[in-house]
Amino acid sequence: MVLNIFFLTVTIKKRVMNPEEIMKRERIQKITEENKDRQFSMYRPF
């Protein structure tokens, strides 16, 4: 008889972001929002 037991441990750690990363994420979010607005304006029904 074989008994296989598998244990998995997941550790979640909050990430500390420096100001450069915060600015980069804000810039990416702004660009993404602008692209969504452009797509909406191009594809809205006439």
pLDDT digits (tens, 9 = 90+) for 4-44: 788 888 899 988 989 999 999 999 999 999 999 988 887 76
Please tell me the distance from the alpha carbon of residue 22 to that of residue 28, in angstroms, as a whole number.
10
Whole-number Cα distances in Å, 16 to 2, 37, 38: 45, 31, 33
pLDDT digits (tens, 9 = 90+) for 15-25: 898 999 999 99
Q: What token pair was written down for 42?
A: 């191009």
Please tell me the distance from the alpha carbon of residue 10 to that of residue 8, in angstroms, as a whole number.
7
Please tell me the distance from the alpha carbon of residue 29 to that of residue 35, in angstroms, as a whole number.
10
Residue 31 DSSP code: H
Residue 1 has pLDDT above 80, yes or no: no
